[in-house]
Every structure is written in structure tokens, then in C-alpha cells.
Amino acid sequence: MSGEFVESDGARLYFEVDGSGPALVLVHAGVANLRMWDPHVPVWSGDHTVVRFDTRGFGRTEEQPDRFTRLVAEFVAGLPGGG
């Protein structure tokens, strides 16, 4: 297992890569982090490159409150009568 950070849109996102072979990218549930996949990685990494990451505000990935606020404002502005 190798854990690293990558810069994305002004935040540091944490990810881990295990195994080798065709890529399998895992996205965790909205109430978890990449650890939810721990029981599965040893099985799948035998013949796949397993990539998993913590989405914004979960696990070791930074939260971006300003980004969320901006996205909500853009959504509301796009509603009929919203902008």
C-alpha cells in the first residue's frame, strides 16, 4: 500500500494505490472514508491496481468550505427565479 496526497482545485486529496493490473477505482460512501474498502483491497489487489481516495472533508482529505458554499450559490442562482 502506498498513500499519497495530490493537489486538486486548491485542496490536498489523500489516496492509496495497491496491487497491479487493470485499474479499479473505489469511491467511498458519503458517510465513510477510503477505509470502508479495507476488507476488499487484499482480494482485489491480487489482479488489479486498486485506487481509492478520501473525498473532500473525509478521512485525510482537506475540506473546502468555500468551495461548497460557491457550488451551492451557483446551484441556487441557476434555479428558476434564483438568479
Per domain, the residue ranges of the chain are 2-78
pLDDT of amino acid 65: 62
The better pLDDT of the pair 10, 1 is held by 10
pLDDT of amino acid 82: 59
pLDDT of amino acid 14: 93
Predicted confidence (pLDDT) per residue in 36-82, tens digit: 999 999 999 999 999 999 988 889 987 766 666 666 677 777 776 65
pLDDT of amino acid 1: 60
Q: Are 43 and 21 in contact (CB under 8 A)?
A: no
In the CATH scheme, what is the homologous superfamily, with its name and number, of domain 2-78? Alpha/Beta hydrolase fold, catalytic domain (3.40.50.1820)
